[in-house]
A and B are shown apart, each in its own frame.
Chain A
């Protein structure tokens, strides 16, 4: 009887250890998938949705080089690139193994069943405070990632995969971030008062920004010139 009680009491501990091992292996598998990519150059269209920013859809080029070099450049015209957009490559988030992985259970992202892993950096001075990854077990693909940083606020990434899914590269990324209030002092711009004011619905829009990048094609492992990252 004592043995049975002992086994029952130990079961959660054993299960927890097993789950921990399982989630670590899942994160490793997701990382391995991306490790086959040494560099890439991708063409995409970026749509920025921020309450005070009225900007057109931009054609952008995204450059990545191992271990964590990433650059988003506008092909033509001026573009407002969200600062945290450097994390659009999950490979750069998972570059080192210096984090503790905690199993946070299961969840559903866009109808897909995922495992949730929380990554805590070992280094106390790391800019990233916490990363939460939502990984699809069947494909080892990261479907959603939430990152909290010290300097650049919190970001959320949602990824949709297509023909480059084998490399862990998404066809579409939705990047959500926090924005600060933007206020110009009155009288600086000498504006024409056309009698129209901003509708209350638009005024109350949240201070959350969104950038959506739809990738057209990737050129993988063909080499990327260092100069683009400068």
Chain B
């Protein structure tokens, strides 16, 4: 199993498309960092709106490494599913396309093992991508912009809120958020792998995965009561942004944030359960389909 995994990781690392994701992330992060370094105050003014009329805020302090990472993740974690699909969608169909799948199955390993190893390799790729994001978006931003308290702009129901998290209470939230994002993106990997089992080339499952993610994301973000109640809870895309829950700090009766707290851990936990259930169901279907599949290539 271990040597199979090593082979899979070797194959992933040898594909040029693997590095497209790393280059794309680095490019997006750099553009954000440059834009905020040049004129971050305009963004702050847009977000603060009327608060500027009532309060004096040191905006240069507010635009710090932690804030930058949050803004970048907010944008990137919507695009990253596409990058995950690039590799996971190629896992089985890529082999079928090259004609190596039949050869692979002649080896003394079960089909379940092959799927599990390919899934594990996609998971490792996803985690590596997130570590790369943490290095570029968090640590390099901290180096460029420095560290300070973190400001979160949030829309809760019909109301808007500004939350402030003190500097010493942030890092564990990022660690938790990245772990959550790893699970959320693994759902995409599992979906892409399932679609990959049905295809003979990589383009189909990659485009199909991206299309499903886009359509479901749009549905998850429109505000129609009937969809809110009956459709959204069933879509995995409704839970992809759950990492943000770690930054929604709980407050006391006077509205002061409580250090080390999360406003709604129950909702995050339920989201994690739903995402994990998606992973197991999609992986289960993939194994079942692959075991019955007539391999002709």
1/0 per residue, CB under 8 A from A, across B48-76: the answer is 01110111111001100000000000100
Contact indicator B256/A50 (Cβ below 8 Å): no
- What does DSSP make chain B's interface, helix, strand, loop or mixed? mixed
Contact indicator A81/B151 (Cβ below 8 Å): no
Q: Which residues of A contact B4 (CB under 8 A)?
A: none
Contact indicator B256/A190 (Cβ below 8 Å): no
1/0 per residue, CB under 8 A from A, across B219-256: the answer is 00101000000001000001001111100110100111
Question: B20 on the interface (CB 8 Å rule)?
Answer: no
Chain A: residues with Cβ within 8 Å of the partner, total of 41
Whole-angstrom distance from the CB of A147 to the nearest CB of chain B? 15
Question: A165 on the interface (CB 8 Å rule)?
Answer: no
Q: Which residues of A contact B268 (CB under 8 A)?
A: 194
Contact indicator B55/A81 (Cβ below 8 Å): yes
Docked pose: A192 CA to B62 CA in angstroms:
22
Docked pose: A178 CA to B50 CA in angstroms:
12
1/0 per residue, CB under 8 A from B, across A98-134: the answer is 0000000000000000000000000000000000000
- A52-B161, A198-B159 given as contacts; is B50 within 8 A of A182 (CB)? yes
Contact indicator B151/A183 (Cβ below 8 Å): no
Docked pose: A3 CA to B251 CA in angstroms:
72
Contact indicator A52/B162 (Cβ below 8 Å): yes
Chain B: residues with Cβ within 8 Å of the partner, total of 52
Closest to A81 in B: B56
Contact indicator A49/B255 (Cβ below 8 Å): yes
Whole-angstrom distance from the CB of B163 to the nearest CB of chain A? 5
Question: B95 on the interface (CB 8 Å rule)?
Answer: no
Contact indicator A184/B255 (Cβ below 8 Å): no
Residues in chain A within 8 A of chain B (CB atoms) = 47, 49-57, 74, 77-83, 177-184, 186-198, 203, 209
Question: Told that A78-B62, A190-B78, A191-B154 touch, could you supply 8 new A-B pairs with CB distance under 8 A?
Answer: A53-B51, A78-B149, A81-B56, A83-B55, A182-B49, A182-B51, A186-B155, A192-B248
